[in-house]
Structure 1
Amino acid sequence: MKIVLIGATTGIGRSLAEFYASQGHELVITGRRTALLEEVKNAFPNIKINVLEMDVVKTDEARAKMDEAEKLMNGIDLVIINAGVGFQKATYEQEMNTIDINARGFTALAQWSYKYFAQKGSGHLVGVSSLASQTGSAYSPEYHATKAFMANYMSGLRMRSAKYYPNVFVTDIRPGFVDTPMTKQNKGMFWVATPEKAAQQIAVAIAARKKVAYITKRYQIIAILLKILPEWLIAKLF
């Protein structure tokens, strides 16, 4: 399988890159810190891994890098969009940066990928949203809002596939707490998964062409609670 993995420098993205490389898949891995991507490439000298610098905020450049990725591998079967950012009690600049990466950057790359797969007649788009897509937050409303945007955008693409492109699959990955550099700022985390465990469960969900997958699986319980609990109680608990 030929895979483009966007946001592979650390955390879930890096663990996914290492998992798929260990399975022998051809990869293009992207991120802003290419030295970290080169570490992944060097760890698997017998696997074809291409490294591309990509800043998803620069949407036109990022989409051009997708064209380059397609040429490097002579085709793409799977795109995983994992680039994302989040802050606790963000400044205005941090809120806008969150929107630029999680919403605008995601849309630019998801639209490119879906259009490519639709023209090709097959393919699989995966977006890593979050359990946070289920509700708002007193601490990071912009983060939760952008993740809800991602989840709804992917839902719409699945509806489009059902109407027009039955061989183009879209999977929404919704992690709970995973031990990554971004979550170090969080307090009161529970059921924290390692990036390696998260990556393994994500890979299983992708192989099964799941529409939505909670990572780890036990977070589906929390997702159900977030749908039924009143806003005032969610504010107290979370």
Structure 2
Amino acid sequence: MKVLVVFGATSAIAQAYLNRVAARYDRLILVARNAQAVEEIAAHLSVLAKADVEVVTADLADIAGQPALLDRVFASPVECALIAYGELTDQQRCIEDHEYAMRQMQLNGTSTISLASGVAQKMVKQKSGTLAVISSVAGDRGRRSNYFYGTAKGAVSTFLSGLRSDMVSQGVTVITVKPGFVDTPMTKEFKKGLLWASADTVAANIDAAIAAKKPVLYTPWFWRYIMLIIKLIPEFIFKRLPL
């Protein structure tokens, strides 16, 4: 039986991915905090894919609750897992509100690392599996406009790089997904431009990366080169740029 689990199933990217691949699986496990929203998604997928859809309501930022959650999700072998939860951090609020900043670091950083680690160990026990985790290009270099969010995502990307190396001989594939600007409800207040992509585009790229077992995906593709240029800017120049 082919099983897909999506952590953060109510995110726009996760929904687009599920719509794209649901028919390929026998069973879908949707994990999210918002019970009503995830139930609506499950009902839609049940019709779309004719698959067995299970809903699990959980606060994924609650690290203490993750072991029990993973025991439930991995009661039978899981072929593929996508970690897609998180939220866009308010940089100025982080500067002014320490507690908010630390909650954001846990939501976007440490809880994701904890969950990815737990998923990987479950897949090691079953001797197979693919884990894809949505990080961000924001983690490639600290910028004054979003360094709290970027720090969390940078930690996730660094962790996944090490995890991927650790898993290479154990039959588990680890994929880091680094989207750039994505047009979703989370970014509705932002002015859109040429660098923006739809959730459907990102989902299609994730699908292709999983099929190819691509270690790191920049999506859309041009963000790899944008971030390469940004990373090559000398620090004495970079720190003065309004990025």
Q: TM-score scaled by structure 2?
A: 0.89
1:83 to 64, 70, 85: 85
2:100 to 94, 106, 126: 94
Alignment-derived partner of residue 208 in structure 1: 212
Deviates more, 1:93-102 or 1:109-118: 93-102
Please give the secondary structure, in 2, of the residue aligned with 1:124.
Answer: strand
Structure 2: how far apart are the matches of 1:105 and 1:25? 28
Contact kept in structure 2, 1:2 and 1:27, CA below 8 Å: yes
Letter of the structure 2 residue corresponding to residue 75 of structure 1: P
Q: Deviation digits for residues 158-188 of structure 1, max 9, x if unmatched?
A: 11123x42x1111000000111122234457
Deviates more, 1:130-139 or 1:81-90: 81-90
Matches within 5 A, 1:147-162: 147-162=153-168
Identity %: 26
Q: Deviation digits for residues 136-164 of structure 1, max 9, x if unmatched?
A: 121221110011101110110111123x4
1:143 to 125, 149, 154: 149
Output the aligned Cα RMSD: 1.8
Alignment-derived partner of residue 67 in structure 1: 71
1:55 to 47, 52, 59: 59
Structure 2: how far apart are the matches of 1:110 and 1:143? 18
Structure 1: which 5+ residue stretches go unaligned?
none
Matches within 5 A, 1:99-178: 99-162=105-168, 164-165=169-170, 167-178=171-182
Deviates more, 1:43-52 or 1:145-154: 43-52
Q: How many angstroms does 1:78 deviate by?
A: 1.2
Are 1:226 and 2:227 an aligned pair?
Answer: no
Structure 1: how far apart are the matches of 2:73 and 2:56? 8
Q: TM-score scaled by structure 1?
A: 0.91
Contact kept in structure 2, 1:18 and 1:40, CA below 8 Å: no
Letter of the structure 2 residue corresponding to residue 31 of structure 1: A
Alignment-derived partner of residue 31 in structure 1: 32
Q: Deviation digits for residues 187-214 of structure 1, max 9, x if unmatched?
A: 5754211111111111111111000000
Q: How many pairs are equivalent?
A: 234
1:191 to 166, 182, 195: 195
Structure 2: how far apart are the matches of 1:134 and 1:41? 34
